[in-house]
Amino acid sequence: MKKNEKHTKFVLTDELISKILDFIKSSDDNSILETFSNYHHADIAEIIEELNSEEATYIIKLLDSEKTSDVLMELDDDYREKILKNLSIKEIAEEVEELDSDDATDIISELPEEKQKKVISKIIDAEHKADIKELLKYDEDSAGGLMAKELIKVNENWTVTRCVKEMRSQASEVTRVHSVYVIDNDDILLGRLSLKDLLVANPKTKIRSIYKKNVDHVYDTDPADSVASTMQKYDLGAIPVVNKKKKLLGRITIDDIVDLIKEEAEEDYQLAAGILQDVDVDDTIFELTKARLPWLIVGLIGGIGAAFVMVGFDEILIQNEILFYFTPLIAAMAGNVGVQSSAIIVQGLANDDIRGSINNRLFKETLLSILNGVILAILLFLFIYFWKGDTNIALALSVALVAVVIVAGIIGTFIPLFLNKRGIDPAIATGPFITTSNDIFGILIYFMVAKLILQI
Amino acid sequence: MKKNEKHTKFVLTDELISKILDFIKSSDDNSILETFSNYHHADIAEIIEELNSEEATYIIKLLDSEKTSDVLMELDDDYREKILKNLSIKEIAEEVEELDSDDATDIISELPEEKQKKVISKIIDAEHKADIKELLKYDEDSAGGLMAKELIKVNENWTVTRCVKEMRSQASEVTRVHSVYVIDNDDILLGRLSLKDLLVANPKTKIRSIYKKNVDHVYDTDPADSVASTMQKYDLGAIPVVNKKKKLLGRITIDDIVDLIKEEAEEDYQLAAGILQDVDVDDTIFELTKARLPWLIVGLIGGIGAAFVMVGFDEILIQNEILFYFTPLIAAMAGNVGVQSSAIIVQGLANDDIRGSINNRLFKETLLSILNGVILAILLFLFIYFWKGDTNIALALSVALVAVVIVAGIIGTFIPLFLNKRGIDPAIATGPFITTSNDIFGILIYFMVAKLILQI
């Protein structure tokens, strides 16, 4: 039910923000309405996010809910929640009334349970109300949780003329046409009608004889990420959602999938960087701490573990203190190799690129680690030889480095593959987890190999 | 010029691959043709990628180029290059003939220069040939490099009846309609025509009176990532591309942008993991080494730097060897904090979320680091106190940890912001670069603070 809004290239400036703040301070409603009348809802959302939630609520209450409903959808979840708290049940219902069923359901599902029911009861459009109630039943990470009820469907028994007439009335309810789905009398999805074919067909032709069969579709219970990969693989702008009996329930459009793909990529990146919750730069220090501290504590425990390992080798310290100077190097190399190899595996798993056995992957990573390890070891050997002139020490350090690189590569390859087999998101394994375990193993292997070679 | 193909849920199995390999070995062309007739081009690409390039070429030559042209577009760049080497100029021209102008241009631009000209000269469709020549002039990372020439445009002076007739003939050349653009007699973009409005309008109405003005558009020289963020922000399925005079040149569709967004996110993730080139799990060991070794060498140099720092503090070693056991912990914490803070900044920059001064960001990160650092330091203090019973050592280590965490957070925040200001991709700063520099600084600060507190 979105309207098309014109908008010119928008740039958010400090001047604009302070102008709007002045308008709010002086309750100059006309100037606010005039300023915002030129902007697209995505631009308004950018402006709103620079205000505090009281100022934002003032704007939201002032503008038409036809516009603000779309603005609300563009806001960050946390921020939207704050604004919704400031709105009355009736005001929320007005916003929800303007949204497509999928967005409306998203907003309502963010409310506390008792508030949900009250808002739903205030929705005037009976069909919209029923749609939202139906969509609320789905898991938000399923196709059913992503789909909107708004779509264009035509009956196989209609003529082209009737079809165009019915499409006209349905189109007023749908933001973007994308595809026209063909159903039978029981609402079973049969196929889709291309606009091209509709344009060229004789007005009296039955839809039955011109539609395309075997349209791509997903089931309402399919997980969201499999919907995303299907739509991406087959370059689909929209995909219909059906139940087990192939009854047409709704459709998912590519713009929702774009957001999903981006969120997933960002989440993987954050996990790899040791950030546990979805946060962004503008979150509070408390939220950022909650997201960052857990992994740092894991790192701390790992560091204490490494210290214990080193205590166990303290007789080396007395004879060959130089070995101790290189523990940070060994730990860093173990960590870097582990992160590199796990990142490649995690990405391969995310893109469904990994086939064949775990053993094959481990074998390849071992060969790769030997190659990288030997090159690095030669560099380290030459450096220590020219610095200290001690062949034994240089040899011990270099051989230890090769061993550490190999083990780090194997751990980095094995852990994400193993977690994936167990049904755990492998992205959680990359970053600090691999780094920390590789630190400890790396230092342990390093001292063991050095001890062996130097015969201490 | 793509055709719609039906396809059922496709699962790639080892049985299928070995069946196809048998067909190739026995040159059983009929069975190959029959097997592949059921599959979507994206599925065929998945199968092809499991074969070696000779086997793949055999299949590509055998199947109709109407199908194989789309298969080629789905393949990994490196692999496509290998197959194209096996095809004759004429065979490549046949594939190119079937593709939309943007894909055709992509394929041709991957060929060696002399081969490019030969292939273009073999293209039969004159308009297609001219389109490709025009598109080849654009930088591949610009809007012009992304756009396709195929689109549906109507003149403002046409009636609805004429418009529908013209759309019919144009539609046969266009894969997906998306939007209908309205132009004047000089091909200047005026706006767009909604299919809804076209459906409800009187057949004699002029387009001039029903089209929507102020359509979103980008300029041919706009960078690709700004096109991506515009389309994402405004939820656009397609966007028209114009030149400086607003002459309509082509259009970019969301499926190309989805690929771009995914590639960019993957690249950032790989950079953060210390992988310098775009690689995937199935690349050769040599390619993987080229991508991974440079960062490992940086890490090696960093580790040698850290060793030098420790040599400078060797008088501490004699009195307080316990401090040395905690260098890996200090290095790890400095690395982890640096990666966390830089990841948040890099992601914020990528999403255009960062406004305000660098100083404000550094101030916030400092507060955050103090909070995290103090909590971690208390844990470390308690541990060392109960382990060794030495308050001085425990205090020295804990205070040093707070200092290291603060400096690491500041470095992790400052470097990406600084690089971004200088126009360098900040993603390159995360991962090993931050880790390595933080290792050295962390250990230096650690020993300096410990020395001060223990008054060595």
Give the tens place of pLDDT for each residue, A2-42. Answer: 334 444 567 888 889 999 999 999 999 999 999 898 888 99
The answer to whether B455 contacts chain A (CB < 8 Å) is no
Average pLDDT of chain B is: 87
Say which of A194, A289, A340 has its CB closest to residue B275: A340
CA–CA distance from A374 to each of A105, A152, A406, B282, B306 (Å)?
Answer: 57, 63, 10, 22, 21
Chain B contact probe: residue of A182, A325, A342, A367 with most B CBs at under 10 A = A325
How many angstroms from the chain centroid is the CA of residue A46?
Answer: 20
Chain B partners of A373 at a C-beta cutoff of 8 Å? none
DSSP 8-state class, residue B234: T
Chain B partners of A8 at a C-beta cutoff of 8 Å? 214
How many angstroms from the chain centroid is the CA of residue A136?
Answer: 21
- A299 and B332 within 8 Å at the Cβ level: the answer is yes
Q: What pLDDT, on a 0 to 100 scale, did the predictor assign at position B6?
A: 41
List the Cα angle B36/B42/B43 in 5-degree steps: 45
- B261 and A258 within 8 Å at the Cβ level: the answer is yes
DSSP 8-state class, residue B189: E
- B168 and A196 within 8 Å at the Cβ level: the answer is yes
In this structure, are residues A272 and A431 in contact, taking their beta carbons and an 8 Å threshold? yes
Residue B86 to residue B96: CA distance in whole angstroms: 15
Residue A27 to residue A59: CA distance in whole angstroms: 10
- B273 and A8 within 8 Å at the Cβ level: the answer is no
Label residue B7 by pLDDT band (50, 70, 90). Answer: very low
User: Per this entry, what is the length of chain A?
Assistant: 456
Q: How many CB atoms lie under 10 A from the CB of residue A214?
A: 13
The answer to whether A362 contacts chain B (CB < 8 Å) is no
Q: What pLDDT, on a 0 to 100 scale, did the predictor assign at position A6?
A: 41
Residue A33 to residue B204: CA distance in whole angstroms: 38
> What is the chain A residue with the closest CA to B164?
A199
> What is the chain B residue with the closest CA to A211?
B4
The answer to whether B452 contacts chain A (CB < 8 Å) is no
Bridge partners (DSSP) of residue A248 are: A242
- B343 and A275 within 8 Å at the Cβ level: the answer is yes
Q: How many CB atoms lie under 10 A from the CB of residue A222?
A: 18
Quick check: helix, strand or coil at residue B253? strand
Closest Cα of chain A to B285: distance in Å?
6
- pLDDT tens digits, one per residue of B215-273: 889 999 999 989 998 898 888 889 999 999 999 999 999 888 888 888 888 888 888 88
Q: What pLDDT, on a 0 to 100 scale, did the predictor assign at position A430?
A: 72
Residue A177 to residue A175: CA distance in whole angstroms: 7
Q: What is the dihedral of CA B153, B159, B165, B170, to 10 degrees?
A: -10
The answer to whether A336 contacts chain B (CB < 8 Å) is yes
Helices B65-74, B89-98: axis angle to 10 degrees equals: 90
- A7 and B234 within 8 Å at the Cβ level: the answer is yes
Label residue B174 by pLDDT band (50, 70, 90). Answer: low
Give one word for A235, left, alpha or beta, with left for phi > 0 and alpha for psi -120 to 50. Answer: left
Q: What pLDDT, on a 0 to 100 scale, did the predictor assign at position B3?
A: 38
Say which of B292, B325, B361 has its CB closest to residue A307: B325
Compute chain B's Rg from CA coordinates. 30
Q: Which amino acid is at A128?
A: H
In this structure, are residues B48 and B56 in contact, taking their beta carbons and an 8 Å threshold? yes
CA–CA distance from A285 to each of A57, A58, B363 (Å)?
Answer: 24, 26, 11
- A266 and B196 within 8 Å at the Cβ level: the answer is no
Question: How many helices (H) and strands (E) in chain B?
Answer: 22, 7
Q: How many interface pairs between A and B have CB atoms less than 8 angstroms apart?
A: 323
- pLDDT tens digits, one per residue of B375-386: 999 999 999 999
Q: What pLDDT, on a 0 to 100 scale, did the predictor assign at position A104?
A: 95
Residues 6+ away with beta carbon under 8 Å from B439: A328, A332, B302, B303, B305, B306, B331, B334, B335
Residue B249 to residue A277: CA distance in whole angstroms: 44
Kindly state the average pLDDT of the residues B434-438.
86
In this structure, are residues B167 and B180 in contact, taking their beta carbons and an 8 Å threshold? yes
Q: What pLDDT, on a 0 to 100 scale, did the predictor assign at position B154?
A: 92
Cα end-to-end span (Å), chain B: 78
Q: What pLDDT, on a 0 to 100 scale, did the predictor assign at position B255?
A: 85
Closest Cα of chain B to A172: distance in Å?
8
Label residue B175 by pLDDT band (50, 70, 90). Answer: low
- A255 and B254 within 8 Å at the Cβ level: the answer is yes
Q: What pLDDT, on a 0 to 100 scale, did the predictor assign at position B173?
A: 67
The answer to whether A142 contacts chain B (CB < 8 Å) is no
Q: What pLDDT, on a 0 to 100 scale, did the predictor assign at position B356?
A: 66
Which A positions 59-118 lie with beta carbon below 8 A of chain B?
none
Chain B contact probe: residue of A174, A197, A355, A434 with most B CBs at under 10 A = A355
Query: Both tokens of residue B299?
Result: 């890490």
Bridge partners (DSSP) of residue A218 are: A241
- B317 and A314 within 8 Å at the Cβ level: the answer is no
Chain B partners of A232 at a C-beta cutoff of 8 Å? 258-259, 262
- pLDDT tens digits, one per residue of B86-110: 999 999 999 999 999 999 999 999 9
The answer to whether B294 contacts chain A (CB < 8 Å) is no
Q: What pLDDT, on a 0 to 100 scale, did the predictor assign at position B189?
A: 96
Ranges of residues in chain A whose predicted pLDDT is under 70:
1-9, 172-177, 355-356, 456
The answer to whether A234 contacts chain B (CB < 8 Å) is yes
- A332 and B299 within 8 Å at the Cβ level: the answer is yes
Residues 6+ away with beta carbon under 8 Å from B237: A176, A178, A237, A254, A255, B178, B179, B253, B254
Label residue B1 by pLDDT band (50, 70, 90). Answer: very low
Three-state secondary structure string covering chain A = CCCCCCCCCCCCCHHHHHHHHHHHHCCCHHHHHHHHHCCCHHHHHHHHCCCCHHHHHHHHHHCCHHHHHHHHHHCCHHHHHHHHHHCCHHHHHHHHHHCCHHHHHHHHHCCCHHHHHHHHHCCCCHHHHHHHHHHHCCCCCEHHHHCECCCEEEECCCEHHHHHHHHHHHHCCCCCCCCEEEECCCCEEEEEECHHHHHHCCCCCEHHHCCEECCCCEECCCEHHHHHHHHHHCCCCEEEEECCCCEEEEEEEHHHHHHHHHHHHHHHHHHHCCCCCCCCCCCCHHHHHHHHHHHHHHHHHHHHHHHHHHHHCHHHHHHCCHHHHCHHHHHHHHHHHHHHHHHHHHHHHHCCCCCCCHHHHHHHHHHHHHHHHHHHHHHHHHHHHHHHCCHHHHHHHHHHHHHHHHHHHHHHHHHHHHHHHCCCCHHHHCCHHHHHHHHHHHHHHHHHHHHHHHCC
Q: Has residue B5 got a pLDDT over 70?
A: no
Closest Cα of chain A to B346: distance in Å?
10
Q: What's the whole-model pTM score?
A: 0.77
In this structure, are residues B132 and B120 in contact, taking their beta carbons and an 8 Å threshold? yes
User: Per this entry, what is the length of chain B?
Assistant: 456
Q: Has residue B371 got a pLDDT over 50?
A: yes
ipTM: 0.77
Quick check: helix, strand or coil at residue B6? coil
Of A132-136, A176-180, B12-16, B72-76, the range with the lowest mean pLDDT is A176-180
> What is the chain B residue with the closest CA to A269?
B269
Q: What pLDDT, on a 0 to 100 scale, did the predictor assign at position B177?
A: 67
Quick check: helix, strand or coil at residue B142? strand
Q: What pLDDT, on a 0 to 100 scale, did the predictor assign at position B11?
A: 82
Q: Which helix (H) or strand (E) holds B124?
A: none
- B296 and A8 within 8 Å at the Cβ level: the answer is no
Q: How many CB atoms lie under 10 A from the CB of residue A164?
A: 17
Say which of B213, B300, B340 has its CB closest to residue A376: B300
Kindly state the average pLDDT of the residues B425-431.
77
Say which of A296, A326, A343 has its CB closest to residue B275: A343
Chain B contact probe: residue of A347, A402, A420, A435 with most B CBs at under 10 A = A347
Q: What domains, with CATH codes, occur in chain A? A: 14-145 (1.25.60.10), 152-253 (3.10.580.10), 285-454 (1.10.357.20)
Q: What pLDDT, on a 0 to 100 scale, did the predictor assign at position A273?
A: 82
- pLDDT tens digits, one per residue of A18-27: 999 999 999 9
Adjacency order of strands within the sheet including B238-242: B218-219, B238-242, B248-253
Label residue B419 by pLDDT band (50, 70, 90). Answer: confident
Residue B263 to residue B268: CA distance in whole angstroms: 9
Q: What pLDDT, on a 0 to 100 scale, did the predictor assign at position B455?
A: 78
Q: What pLDDT, on a 0 to 100 scale, did the predictor assign at position A316?
A: 77
